[in-house]
């Protein structure tokens, strides 16, 4: 069978030359790239291991000095704590005692007489016990004066406390206040006598029996 192409020459499909893909060359190139990457990773791994061995050796050389520094830090910390404890126990309390005595002298009513005053300090915790008596005939007024005296001491003594937070320096822990009174008459004169005890302490103070 004979096929005759009647299309003009310019419209006929011409077969071009076949393109040969260099598969071997591509494979060699990919293998070369993979080999270079592997060698580079191996080089980095060797460098990291060498640096690790160097740092480990340097750390072993510094370890005795590090132990000495830690020991010195612990000793300094103990010394500082001891100095703070000494200040809290022997230096600071007399100053506070003087302030508290001044407060009592400023706040106590003329109708009240003090019999005993106890001031205790345990680190940053405080306790004040004020005992006294009143021989005023106006019993109701005396009770009000005793309560006002206790409230005044409580409010003024709270200024001695350490602030609860450094960000809020005006906020301080409260004092616990307890007021007890007993009334009676003298056997000789039958005058009304009111005895009172004001017990002020910080929340962390452990009370003992008196």
Domain count, the chain: 2
Q: Name the CA dihedral angle for 52, 57, 59, 61, rounded to a multiple of 10 degrees.
A: -170
Residue at token pair 């200040």 = 87
User: Do residue 79 and residue 119 come from a single domain?
Assistant: no
Query: Does 97 reside within a domain?
Result: no
- Number of Cβ atoms within 10 Å of the Cβ of 90: 10
Query: Does 96 reside within a domain?
Result: no
Give me the domain span that covers residue 30. Answer: 24-91
DSSP-derived 3-state class of residue 101? helix
User: Do residue 77 and residue 155 come from a single domain?
Assistant: no
Domain final residue, candidates 91, 118, 146 = 91
pTM, two decimals, is: 0.50
In this prediction, residue 17 has a pLDDT band, given cuts at 50, 70 and 90, of low
Query: Does 145 reside within a domain?
Result: yes
Query: Does 173 reside within a domain?
Result: yes
The Cα 131–Cα 179 span in angstroms is 10
The Cα 125–Cα 208 span in angstroms is 14
List alpha helices for 108-178, DSSP H.
139-157
User: Do residue 118 and residue 190 come from a single domain?
Assistant: yes
Q: Given this model, what pLDDT does residue 28 score?
A: 82
User: Do residue 67 and residue 120 come from a single domain?
Assistant: no
DSSP-derived 3-state class of residue 46? helix
- Give the residue with greater pLDDT, 57 vs 13: 57
């Amino acid at each position: 069978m004979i096929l005759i192409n009647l299309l003009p020459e310019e419209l006929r499909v011409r077969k071009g030359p076949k393109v040969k893909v260099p598969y071997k060359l591509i494979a060699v190139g990919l293998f070369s790239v993979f080999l270079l990457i592997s060698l580079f990773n191996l080089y980095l791994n060797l460098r990291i291991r060498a640096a690790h061995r160097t740092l480990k050796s340097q750390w072993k050389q510094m370890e005795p000095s590090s132990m000495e520094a830690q020991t010195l830090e612990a000793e300094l910390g103990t010394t500082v704590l001891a100095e703070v404890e000494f200040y809290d126990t022997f230096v600071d309390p007399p100053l506070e005692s003087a302030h508290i005595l001044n407060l009592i002298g400023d706040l106590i009513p003329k109708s009240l007489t003090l019999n005993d005053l106890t001031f205790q300090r345990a680190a940053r915790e405080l306790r004040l016990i004020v005992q006294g008596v009143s021989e005023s005939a106006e019993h109701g007024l005396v009770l009000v004066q005793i309560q006002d005296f206790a409230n005044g001491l409580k409010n003024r003594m709270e200024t001695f406390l350490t602030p609860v937070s450094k960000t809020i320096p005006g906020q301080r822990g409260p004092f616990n206040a307890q007021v007890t009174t007993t009334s009676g008459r003298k056997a000789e004169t039958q005058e009304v006598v009111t005895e009172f005890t004001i017990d002020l302490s910080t929340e962390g103070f452990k009370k003992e029996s008196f």
